[in-house]
A and B are shown apart, each in its own frame.
Chain A
Amino acid sequence: MNANDKRIRWVKEPALGMAGKSYLLLFVQGLATTLKHLVSRKKTVQSPEERHEIPDPIIYRGVHRLNRDEQGRVKCVACFLCATACPAHCIDIVAAESPWPDREKYPQSFTIDELRCIYCGLCEEACPVDAIELTSLYDLSGKSREEMIFDKQKLLSIYDQTKDAEPTRTERLKGEGGGGKAE
């Protein structure tokens, strides 16, 4: 860009007063802040002895789960919207015609590469049926990369584990009344 460009607006730096120019006050100020923090209460959580306290598990973005519907079937309709929204391309779905009469399409296979995932929660946002949700489980680990690629069964089992502690969005909306229409 040309320095003479008319669109450039040249701003004057705010002038420092004597106190600022002398550096002394600012230096003392900085030092005082540092010293204050030096002795303040520490925020570190000593994991694993202490557990990180999650203020709201509903909005926490931990490992994913695949929700089940009332009949215990996978709720996902294999619309690929989560896979489309995923910026890390970690969701892989194979869709098929569902074996159930009241459903049209379902995921034959549904895998999430938890190592590739960046836990942004966009899949949760994109899901039209609230089938994929991020739980508050954060300390997942595995001994191999393969182990960290979660398949449908594993994701459903996370739902079974967490469903009591963390109700699905659909259930919460029903509880609040009103929004249940969207189901």
Chain B
Amino acid sequence: MPTIIIDNREFEIPGGVKLNCIQAAKLAGVEIPHYCWHPGLSVVGSCRMCLVEVGSKDAKTGKIAMQPKLVPACNQTAVEGTVIVTNSEKVARTRAMVEEDLLLRHPIDCPICDKAGECSLQDYHFAHGQDQRRADLQPFTSRRRDIGDVSLFVDRCILCSRCVRFAKEISGTSELMVAGRGTHEEIDVVENHPLHNNLSGNVVDLCPVGALADKDFLYRQRVWFLRRHKGICTGCATGCSIWIEENQDRIHRLKPRENPHVNQWWMCNEGRYGYPHVHSDKRIVHPIRHQRAEGFNPSAECETNAAFSGNSSRGDKPLGSLSHEILDWTDLPTELNQVLRSSKHLGAILSPFLAVEEAYLLCKMLRGIDKNAMLALGPIPVVGEDEHFPKGFTVRAEKCPNRRGVENVLTHFTGKIVPYGNFLKSVEKGEIRGVWVAGGYKNDWIDEPTAKTFESVELLIVQDLFPSPLSERASFLLPVAAFVEIDGSYVNHADRLQTVPQAIRPPLGVRSAGSLLWEMSGRKGLYDAQAVLREAAHEILYFSAAAGGVPEAGIDLKSNLLAGMGKIEDSSKIQQA
């Protein structure tokens, strides 16, 4: 445990890790302003904002020797006896000078700059800058250049080169460069090679000023109107930790949340821009009961799809041979319980988009009604191949968040996983009379012929986000909440379980699967996802690590699994003996 001295106070910093002075000071609660340094990127020390006085204390004599010049804290490793002074007059003057220099030619267009409000330049200028500007108030606007996935406001740039280093080191694509020399330096791309890769969105987060702007978010909202909530990306099996930033229940952008075990500081564009389906007006927003008439021909009803979505008006509407009735949530749990109980031979399809709690509640409830209920894992969407990036960031081909979680819940209840195909065969044979399909897929997941298989089923309850060929055949079509609208836990490809709270409210008429199942299984009070997870953790060995709550960065279930397997072996030995 090396001891360092920051502003006349001694602190012990953790040993064994190499920390620079910025990080060490941060641990001690002292903020050293910086632009160009980023923990995930190499050090260049070009912005000079983190200049501090550095010295060292002689361990034997106790004498402190300071270096005559100011030193960039980002490039100075904190070791035993390092002395850092951040609050001296000299440092303050230097910071003010750096700020003035950066603002010399920085346009005064904060009112229209999307970064305003979360801009390091603004914040540091308020904290460390001069009160008065000595330079002309020119220019007022910034030149704008389209450099591919993001927009570049050339004059706002302070040339910290974070984006250049990111493109070189993290995405490995090296599209960006610093062009020109001296005062003519600008960030640019080579002609015909625009910034275009699956991680390009991160340069916007990296940019400490408003030079790089997200095209999706551009001019959409001022950042101070946004509220951020913890979330998990459901775009692929990586399960990146994200911030969900919303205003009045409308998501305006997703940003990566630092999680050293999953995504470090990054997320892919696919996940970053993968939220619009939440606000799609095609979503199912009412629970609907279908009355199937004789001579039912669903294919003729395909064009009435729109009627199921949010645009449909309330009330009974006979559509050909099919009539559908919009239901009220109040009586629905009781009614569903009744129809499930009256139907023998139940089965369920659980999509890998379900949260662990929802999957657990569904399995538990169906097994409670029919203890031989057939529980199967829904189709796993796989697109292309895993996309690896140099420093280890991977975009998975498996485009669902919780295959491992649902699999393990199913394994607990059924012993081994029933393949989707087997389930379909059983349905075809008529072995299953009542089917609960817990969907939640973002896009088409079932085709017309497969959906036709379910026509023989007496009771078909479909929970889904969007209408599908299956939804027209459902006896009950239930809307579900999207990933940002639920309390729940997901297990990623590496068996890391993360729990997040609800970020926004679902649209009117939508109720989360968790709360419906909570009520259907006769539990009292409001839906409590944490209680369900605790229950599952006590019951299912795989989740047992989550029994004591889940920290922000998630819990690795794998280590626990190994220990648990040992235990099982032990018990079998005892039995043999």
Known interface pairs A79-B111, A79-B112, A129-B111; A105-B219 also in contact (CB < 8 Å):
yes
Answer whether residue A134 sits at the interface, using C-beta atoms and an 8 A cutoff: no
B137 near A182: Cβ-Cβ < 8 Å? yes
Q: Could you list some 26 contacts between A and B, CB below 8 A? A: A77-B111, A77-B112, A78-B112, A79-B111, A79-B112, A79-B222, A80-B222, A80-B225, A81-B111, A84-B224, A84-B225, A95-B220, A96-B219, A97-B218, A97-B219, A102-B141, A104-B109, A104-B112, A104-B141, A104-B144, A105-B112, A105-B219, A128-B111, A129-B111, A181-B137, A182-B137
The B contact surface, by secondary structure, is loop
Shortest CB-to-CB span from A27 to chain B, Å, is 57
1/0 per position for B104-128, CB-CB distance to A under 8 A? Answer: 0000011110001000000000000
The closest CB in chain B to the CB of A102 belongs to B141
Q: Which residues of B contact A182 (CB under 8 A)?
A: 137
A95 to B218, CA, bound (A): 9
Shortest CB-to-CB span from A9 to chain B, Å, is 37
Contact partner, B219, options A78, A84, A128, A129, Cβ 8 Å: A78
Shortest CB-to-CB span from B253 to chain A, Å, is 15
Interface positions of B from 474 to 490, Cβ below 8 Å from A: none
The closest CB in chain A to the CB of B114 belongs to A105
The closest CB in chain A to the CB of B151 belongs to A97
Q: Which residues of B contact A95 (CB under 8 A)?
A: 219-220
Q: Which residues of B contact A181 (CB under 8 A)?
A: 137
1/0 per position for A55-85, CB-CB distance to B under 8 A? Answer: 0000000000000000000000111110010
Shortest CB-to-CB span from B218 to chain A, Å, is 7
Identify 18 new A-B residue pairs, CB closer than 8 A, beyond the known A78-B112, A97-B218, A104-B141.
Answer: A77-B111, A78-B219, A79-B111, A79-B222, A81-B111, A84-B222, A84-B224, A84-B225, A95-B219, A95-B220, A96-B219, A102-B141, A104-B109, A104-B144, A105-B219, A128-B111, A181-B137, A182-B137
A180 to B224, CA, bound (A): 30
1/0 per position for A160-183, CB-CB distance to B under 8 A? Answer: 000000000000000000000110
A83 to B358, CA, bound (A): 41
Residue positions of A touching B, CB distance < 8 A: 77-81, 84, 95-97, 102, 104-105, 128-129, 181-182
Task: Report, nearest first, the 8 A-B pairs whose CB atoms are least far apart.
Answer: A79-B111, A105-B112, A80-B222, A95-B219, A128-B111, A77-B112, A105-B219, A104-B112
A24 to B21, CA, bound (A): 78
A129 to B110, CA, bound (A): 12
The closest CB in chain A to the CB of B218 belongs to A97
The closest CB in chain A to the CB of B222 belongs to A80
The closest CB in chain B to the CB of A127 belongs to B111
Q: Which residues of A contact B142 (CB under 8 A)?
A: 104
Shortest CB-to-CB span from B564 to chain A, Å, is 53
A102 to B139, CA, bound (A): 13
Interface positions of B from 2 to 61, Cβ below 8 Å from A: none
Q: Which residues of A contact B141 (CB under 8 A)?
A: 102, 104
Q: Which residues of B contact A77 (CB under 8 A)?
A: 111-112
A80 to B225, CA, bound (A): 10
A77 to B112, CA, bound (A): 7
A96 to B221, CA, bound (A): 10
A78 to B222, CA, bound (A): 10
The closest CB in chain B to the CB of A183 belongs to B140
The closest CB in chain B to the CB of A95 belongs to B219
Q: Which residues of A contact B224 (CB under 8 A)?
A: 84
A149 to B441, CA, bound (A): 41
The closest CB in chain A to the CB of B109 belongs to A104
Q: Which residues of B contact A96 (CB under 8 A)?
A: 219
A78 to B112, CA, bound (A): 7
A30 to B110, CA, bound (A): 58
Shortest CB-to-CB span from A88 to chain B, Å, is 16
A80 to B137, CA, bound (A): 22
1/0 per position for B129-165, CB-CB distance to A under 8 A? Answer: 0000000010001101000000000000000000000
A96 to B222, CA, bound (A): 12
1/0 per position for B174-199, CB-CB distance to A under 8 A? Answer: 00000000000000000000000000
Q: Which residues of A contact B225 (CB under 8 A)?
A: 80, 84
The closest CB in chain A to the CB of B140 belongs to A183
A182 to B138, CA, bound (A): 10
A102 to B112, CA, bound (A): 13
Q: Which residues of B contact A97 (CB under 8 A)?
A: 218-219
A102 to B224, CA, bound (A): 26
Q: Which residues of A contact B137 (CB under 8 A)?
A: 181-182
Shortest CB-to-CB span from A109 to chain B, Å, is 13
Shortest CB-to-CB span from A172 to chain B, Å, is 19
Q: Which residues of B contact A78 (CB under 8 A)?
A: 112, 219
1/0 per position for B411-423, CB-CB distance to A under 8 A? Answer: 0000000000000
A159 to B405, CA, bound (A): 61
